[in-house]
Each structure stands twice: as structure tokens, then as C-alpha cells.
Amino acid sequence: MEEAKEKGVFNEEKACLVVKELRKSFDSGKTRSYKWRISQLEAMAKMIEEREKDIIEAVDKDLSKPQLEAYIAEVSQTKSSCSEAIKALHQWMKPTKVKTAITTYPSSAEIVSEPLGVVLIISTWNFPFLLSLDPVIGAIAAGNAVVLKPSEVAPASSALLADMLTKYLDNSAVRVIEGGAPQTTALLEQKWDKILYTGNARVGRIVMAAATKHLTPVILELGGKCPALVDSNLNLQVAARRLIAGKWACNNGQACISVDYIITLKHFAPTLINALKEELEQFFGKDPMKSKDMSRIVSSSHFSRLLKLLNDDKISDKIVLEGQKDEDQLKIAPTIILDAPDDSLVMQEEIFGPIMPIITVDKIEDGFDIIKSKPKPLAAYLFTNNEDLKKSFVENISSGGMLINDTVLQVVTPGLPFGGVGESGMGSYHGKFSFDEFSHKKGVLYRSFKGDSSMRYPPYTPKKQSLVKALINGNIFHMILILIGCSKL
């Protein structure tokens, strides 16, 4: 530990110090005030505005993310999250009045949202700004002190986040700790009041196990295989474009809510594949490797992981659109696989890249069984004009979120929660949901010294017992009879 300290390595000792300092700030009460929260949210909005160019450059370095995709997801969405919190904060912080029961008359009651304390946010690399700053906005809005640990897999973004948050925000209550597994492990050893983790389920389990030690609640934003069930009763061109928008034009498939695989009707699959090929060419040209409108694969280890999925013998004769691969540039062009067997790697793991398996079924409803046979996904999509099918999909398929006749846009819809269910995670955030996740909902009952009935105090006479029972059961008539001595006790 001494050696690590000398080298300036972030270890458990340093993690403990950071938490101590932030707890001191939290305990001083400064983060609770509306004034502090709003000042930090405004500073964050200013930061995103002023550093927009740096943000876009950082995601270009880390992922070659196309400028427009970077602007929409990393800048604009984070900005609107911030302005929503600024606009609504006063309202969110107001206690909610609750009706009281006759048994506590006279009284009033309310739910008070109080900050939890010092919270940890562990983020990932695919939308490094949005997925780091959006939870931080929620944590600050709710009045907490925060430590953000961005992903080491997107190093330019991680460094920029550390630089920006140090310059723009109050460092006595908001900190960024950079690093990978060892640094996160050091942080996880500490006692937090809540942990929000975004990433894969394997590390999700590590986070949850660490949190158990201190009984710390967790929000796990995980992933999984998000299906798109595609009926033949639809507008083919629009459906094909939107499927592409939810896969290759969405960080090249490296998104938790991107379409992982398609299920469609056997007779319709060739038509759908042709439409996808046509629209892909419209979007990315004849040589997609030269397109500037497609992100690269984030790292060589993720590149090798995707190659392993493609080199699986089980799909060698199933590739209907074979994308080029360039290891030097870390690029893989759109690849489509028809009827990959269920035990092939592409159907067993979350793909998180530009490979799209298409599974065929005889009846569209058979697609439900395929989706249900896998862990509950973070998102499920359906394309159809059939109203009964839409209804049945919403009623029968369990997923974090759902979108009919489009992809990905559920995440930018204000008022909708974002989060998983089952293996795709627990808890949800965005807007007011973030505020609520980072608050404790404290129930408060107010009474005066009036109305002090002896009914609730010993000695518990038979008359009192009958009165209390009548009161609890709401039987006012019986109560009156007891009081005037006309009812048997």
C-alpha cells in the first residue's frame, strides 16, 4: 500500500479519504439547499455548452463516433436532461401532500424527498458523456455528494470528464476518479449511500456483492439481447431504415438498446434482407468501410470478441451480408446472418457490435416464445400495423422499455423511465425518475396536541376495544351506539 501511495496510485486508502471529504461536505448540509443544487446544475449546463467541441473530439478519438451522433446523444441529450432538472427542481423538491386516516384525526401528512448522502456512479464507454453525466445530474438534483468513475475503455472521454467536472463543479462535493477495475474495486470497498452502475452483468454482480457488505442500495443499468420482432404487415422502407438507425447508425451497434437480433416470418425474410441491404447502401455507400458515418469498434479486445462471434462454425454458411473487417482501423462493416442456430455464439451472447442475426418463424406469435426463452431484455421492438399484435406484445413481453414501429427513441422521450428488468438491470432513471432514485422518500405525519383520545391508551376496557374496532372498520353508526350505551360491548 505504501508503494502504491508513493506512485500516486488510487487505492483503498485514497478512496477512503475521498469519501470522508465528501461526507464532511454532505454533513455540512450545503448540498441540500436549492441554491447549491441549482448552481451545480447551471454550471453543468454551462460546461456542456462551452465544451461541446471537446466532447465531440473526445468521442471521435475513443470511437470515431460520427459528429451528428455525438452531438445528439452526448451533447444535446445531456443538455436537455440538465435543463429539465433546472426547470423542474423546485417542483421536485416540494413535499407531496398525502390524505390522512380518520384514526389519526386531526393530522396532516406528506412525503419529503431527502438526499441519500454520498453516492457512487460507475459508468461505461459507449456513450461516455451521456451515461456519466445524466446520473450525476440526478444525484446532484436530489442533493447528494457524488463520485463519478468513468470507463477506462474510453480514455479521452474519461480524461475530459475529469478535467471538466474539476473545473466547473464544486469539488468539495463532486469528484471524478479515473481508472479501471483496481480503482473501482478500491471505491467499492467504501460505504456509499447508493451506487449506480452501468455496464455488463458480470461486473454488475461484483458491484452488487460489494454493496451488500454495507447494505447499500444499487441501480444496475445492464444490457442483454434486445429483439426486434418484424411482421410483414408494415411499411417496409420505413421499417428497414429505422432498424438500421437502431443498429449500425447507433454507435455501430455498440449501444445497450440497439437491436441485437431480428425475428421475422420465414416467407418475408428475403424481402426484409433486400430492403436492409438497399437502405444500408443508401446510408453508408457501396463501401461502408470508407463511411464517416459509422463508429469504429471501441478497442482491439472488443474487435477480437466480435471476430470470435463471426468465426463460429455454427454460422459459417449463414452469412447473407458479409461485412469487411479491418483490424488496424478497428472497423467491421454491417453483417447479416440468416437463421443462426440458437446455440451459436451470436444468439447466446449480447452482440454489442455491427452483426445482425435474423431468426425466422412460421407464425409471428412464435417470435414471442423466442424472446421469452431468453433473459428479459433492456428494450424490445415490434414493427407491425396489426393492432392486436401490438396489444399482445405490450401485454406479454417483459422488457426494460418498449417501442412499437421504431427503435431507440424511447430513451429520448421525456417522462419515460429508463432501466432494465431481470437480467437487464434494476432501478430506472432519467428526469424525475433520477431525482426519485437518488432521494429517500420520507413519510412524515404531523399531529397537534388536540384530539388526544384516551381510547388508544390502557387500560384497554371492553368499551374501548369495541370503539377502536368500530373506528378501524369505519363503522361510525356502531361507534355512536356504543357511545350512547345502546350497543352490546
Angle at the Cα of 100 (from 483 to 434), degrees rounded to 5?
Answer: 165
Q: Which of 221, 279, 350, 437 is catalytic?
A: 221
Cα 475 to Cα 461, 468, 480, 483: the distances in Å are 19, 10, 9, 13
DSSP β-bridge partners for residue 379 = 401
Among the listed residues 223, 353, 357, 377, the single contact to ligand NAD using CB under 6 A: 223
- Does residue 152 have an active-site annotation? no
Among the listed residues 126, 216, 252, 407, the single contact to ligand NAD using CB under 6 A: 126
d(CA 443, CA 98): 9
- Report the nearest approach of ligand NAD to the CB of residue 238 (Å): 26
* Residue keyed to cell 463520485: 147
Which range binds ligand NAD by CB under 6 A, 13-21, 78-86, 215-223, 341-349? Answer: 215-223
Q: Closer CB to ligand NAD, residue 125 or residue 303?
A: 125
Task: Name the H helices within 246-364.
Answer: 269-284, 300-310, 345-348
Among the listed residues 260, 350, 423, 436, the single contact to ligand NAD using CB under 6 A: 350
d(CA 302, CA 325): 13
Q: Does 38 bind ligand NAD (CB under 6 A)?
A: no
Q: What count of other Cβ atoms lies within 10 Å of the Cβ of residue 463?
A: 14
Binding mask 150-189 for ligand NAD (x = CB under 6 A): -xxx--------------------------xx--xx----
- Report the nearest approach of ligand NAD to the CB of residue 188 (Å): 6
- Does residue 256 have an active-site annotation? yes
- 336 touches 345 (CB < 8 A): no
- Report the nearest approach of ligand NAD to the CB of residue 461 (Å): 59
Binding mask 410-429 for ligand NAD (x = CB under 6 A): ----------x----x----
Q: Does 128 bind ligand NAD (CB under 6 A)?
A: no
Binding mask 233-262 for ligand NAD (x = CB under 6 A): -----------------------x------
Q: What count of other Cβ atoms lies within 10 Å of the Cβ of residue 240?
A: 24
d(CA 354, CA 13): 42
Instruction: Choose among 351, 355, 356, 299: nearest CA to 330.
Output: 299
Q: Does 125 bind ligand NAD (CB under 6 A)?
A: yes
Report the b/e string of 423-437 with b at 16+ CB within 10 A: bbbbbbbbbbbbbbb
- Provide the 8-state DSSP code for 173: T
Positions touching ligand NAD (CB under 6 A) are: 122-126, 131, 149, 151-153, 180-181, 184-185, 198-200, 203, 206, 221-223, 256, 350, 352, 378, 420, 425
Q: So which residues are the catalytic ones?
A: 221, 256
